Structure 1
Amino acid sequence: MKGRIAGAWNCLIAASAALGVSKSPQLYSVEISSWMRPRPRLCAKIGPMSGTGVISKRGTLSRQNIIQTAAAMVDRDGADAFSMRRLGAEIGVDPMAVYHYIPNRAALLRELVRLFLDALDVPGPTLIWQDWVRAFSQNFRSTAKRHPGLFRVFSQSGDWSAEYLAVEEALHATLAEAVFSPQQRVRAGRLVMAYTENFVLWELSGSIASNDADERAQFIGLIESRDLPQVAALSEHILNVDADDEFAFGLDVTTRGLEAMLCPLATRADSPSNHS
């Protein structure tokens, strides 16, 4: 296009000279308007393309690469700091390239929930229900502490998923061995999940930890300035916290409480009147 325009201008200049028209400097400069200039392609923004996808600084972009990178980001920086723009920067592509593989942020968060649930070590069916509940809760806590960002995404999600229902299935199959009514079994499962999840949330917030020197001084100053004999007597136990022991204590209370609920049901089930 530019060559053709320049050629036309040269013909005009030659004709003007033949007619005795003075040459104008403007006639020798050919200005190409902005709409004639080449437009940048989208792929120039998101990186060179290959037959399998965009090449990022982490290699070929793929759905799995996006999910794994997002998981590492939320564990490292926290779920609240995560955004699609930051994800694109982390991978080394324009954020719009991500949407070719993941339709939106909500869909990506659902993938992170699935990733967390897939990482759970669900006990097998060989344990008695009390030991199964303890093992499951311990494994859940360990996974959540290894992946705190994924756990927070999971805890904030209200969506049902096949992976979560698989966990529910294993939990209720275990509780079915005990003499629970259907409603009690559902409530027992919710109790186990509620205790485990909320303890981990409390733990990750720093609420279950031994107090440092400043916190101890503040605590002692408060009990010395007030009439708090019970708190003062328990001060060492309050200030020194072992999170593992605290968690095990709560699990023991939970399972023993459920056992206590079973006893009357088991007695009624085995009573002679029920076999007559």
Structure 2
Amino acid sequence: MADKPTSRRRSASTDTADASRGERPITRAAVLETALRIVDQDGVDALSMRRLAEAVRRDPMVIYRHVPNKAAVLDGVAELVFDQLRVDATDIDWMSQLRTVARDFRKLALDHPRVVTLLVTRPLATPLGLRPQAVLRPLEDILALLMRAGFAGPDALHIYRALFGFLYGHVLNELQEIVENPEETDDLLRLGLYRLPIGEFPLLRALAPALATYDGAAELERGLDILLTGLAANLPRHNGADEH
């Protein structure tokens, strides 16, 4: 414990030295943006506090002043991506707005495929009240959207959980490597399904054409059709809100 004041003094003196050399002081946002670039380029396993310090060209103690450990950096990377997700809580068409949110989330996942595991796991590893505001904002805004549409609070929360449970599963599935031999034109060979015993997996083998022509955008829309129409039909609304 005795080394913490020394660490803080070293960090402060390093920042002061940076300023005296005319260098822009490092901020938490700059550290996290650099971490996001590292993960985007080389994956989560490539991120370390040492590499992060080297990337921002500062003493490692400066990094620890803004983020105490790697776990905090990973949380911050997820926070940066979630901060780009917008929900219009005033939209009178709740289904249309949730479709827009779903499409935007998928786009963020495709833009940052190596961050997706963090988006799915990091928030859930932190108690709700301790999560960054950027992570909580979509939840708050979706609750406002749905409650304005006439859903009771617990039902609105159920819809949020169902939607994001579906989205997390969808993006993880879409980003999986499903093609073994991309140059093959035969679907069984393309997917490696020829390895499966014919008698034990007849349905999988028969569905090879559908599996080989997987379309992430179309799958998302189909899943949303099933999810949102089912929720609308089975969850009651009050205040005379119109169905959409």
**TM-score (structure 2 length as normaliser):** 0.74
Higher relative contact order (CA 8 A, sep 6+): 2
Spell out the pairing of 1:137-156 with structure 2 (5 A cutoff). Answer: 137-156=102-121
Residue equivalent to 1:161: 132
Identify the match of residue 219 of structure 1 among 180, 190, 193: 193
Residue equivalent to 2:4: none
> Which amino acid is 1:216 matched to?
L
Give the CA deviation at 1:149. Answer: 3.7
- Aligned equivalents of 2:195, 2:115: Cα separation in 1: 39
For the pair 1:108 / 2:73, whether they are aligned, the reply is: yes
- Aligned equivalents of 2:101, 2:113: Cα separation in 1: 17
Identify the match of residue 253 of structure 1 among 226, 229, 242: 226
> Is the contact between residue 106 and residue 167 of structure 2 (CA under 8 Å) also seen in structure 1?
yes
> Is the contact between residue 49 and residue 60 of structure 2 (CA under 8 Å) also seen in structure 1?
yes
Structure 2 portions without partners, runs of 5+? 1-9
Greater shift, 249-258 or 113-122, is seen at 113-122
For the pair 1:186 / 2:157, whether they are aligned, the reply is: yes
> Which amino acid is 1:77 matched to?
D
SS at match of 1:51: helix
For the pair 1:50 / 2:18, whether they are aligned, the reply is: yes
> Is the contact between residue 113 and residue 150 of structure 1 (CA under 8 Å) also seen in structure 2?
yes
Residue equivalent to 2:170: 199
Residue equivalent to 2:215: 242
Give the CA deviation at 1:234. Answer: 3.2
- The count of corresponding residues between Structure 1 and Structure 2 is 219
Give the CA deviation at 1:99. Answer: 1.9
Give the CA deviation at 1:63. Answer: 3.2
> Which amino acid is 2:224 matched to?
L
- Aligned equivalents of 1:245, 1:89: Cα separation in 2: 42
> Which amino acid is 1:234 matched to?
L
Greater shift, 86-95 or 195-204, is seen at 86-95
Q: Highest CA radius of gyration, 1 or 2?
A: 1
- CA pair 53-107 structure 1, distance change in 2 beyond 3 A: farther
Greater shift, 154-163 or 238-247, is seen at 154-163
Greater shift, 123-132 or 163-172, is seen at 123-132
Identify the match of residue 143 of structure 2 among 166, 169, 172: 172
Residue equivalent to 1:82: 47
Residue equivalent to 2:56: 91
Structure 1 portions without partners, runs of 5+? 1-41, 271-276
Runs (4 or more) in structure 1 with deviation over 6 Å come to none
- Aligned equivalents of 1:198, 1:232: Cα separation in 2: 23
Q: Equivalent pairs: percent with the same residue?
A: 27
Give the CA deviation at 1:199. Answer: 1.0
- Aligned equivalents of 1:53, 1:191: Cα separation in 2: 52
Residue equivalent to 2:99: 134
